[in-house]
Structure 1
């Protein structure tokens, strides 16, 4: 995925460019087509019929002209896995380019993965009360167990007692799916900024800049 400042335009070009592009081809567009042909690539967003507002990826300041200069390139062997490719002009992506999205259906080889090891919640040991109780649990358990005959047996006893104490006192650490610095306040500001995305008046543009900052 790349912005080449290249316009391939309308018209089919072998197996690389389909006829549903936008505009007239320029020199950079010709070089891009040559590059894709040499490397067996397909320009995905020229293969699907859409309204022109779903084809352009960049608009000249003042909306004086609309151009298709961003492309998603894939290998020709995966062409039949691409279901759709188009732009979303209304998406708030903090850019003067439109969001370009490709929908595809991938068939990947299934890999066998081992079970994710659940980690102890060691942050609780930062509290003195929890730390002292943990030490007492481990010491008590070791005192009640008979000493092993070998180093391996002694190590197994110690490991089991530490694990048992951790299970009772610490528990497992919960993995958060959201970055800790992303707060609800930030999410609310993002939603509010999205309202000013396509504002045409100066007040709307000021509101967008303020919320972006």
Structure 2
């Protein structure tokens, strides 16, 4: 294409201010117009020596030209940190020496830092209130109007709406706070692992650390299972 992009202010930001040529040729104008302000020529953005800007040496002439370019869209333009040519790099294209210089770019890939949409945390009913006989009786007594019977079977939508309304009125939602099953024994087990991790560095001590970690996991798992069993027992007692 032999496009030479100049240093004209009119064509910025597509064309930079550090080009080897002061003015663009006809093919350079076509290249700039084809970009439509959506791409940038990063070869002309970074200040460098003229010897590092030339990319082609015409045969039989001492003049150097800059006709190779690195175009990138505006969105990822900041990923390119530097661009330059290498005059003494040997290019062998199909076993023929090329009169073009190698062009290299320093690129940095960055992950987009757009904030993620925060998901709404599901609210949980305070089932611990079912231990109270009065609350449990009120929860098990939905009105007949809410549980509409059709053809001898209750509509699932009506049952679901009735249960939700009864739970909101009688139980309410759990307040954020500490976990009920995480008692002092669990806290001490976790603290032992933290202290051992700071002190132990040898292999023998690391085995002792793994033993403490296993004991901690078993204890926490046991507390969670006990809480789940108690909730299931309350639910069975509340069922009519």
Q: Which has the larger radius of gyration?
A: 2
TM-score tier by shorter-chain length is 0.3 to 0.5
TM-score by length of 2: 0.41
TM-score by length of 1: 0.46
Higher relative contact order (CA 8 A, sep 6+): 1
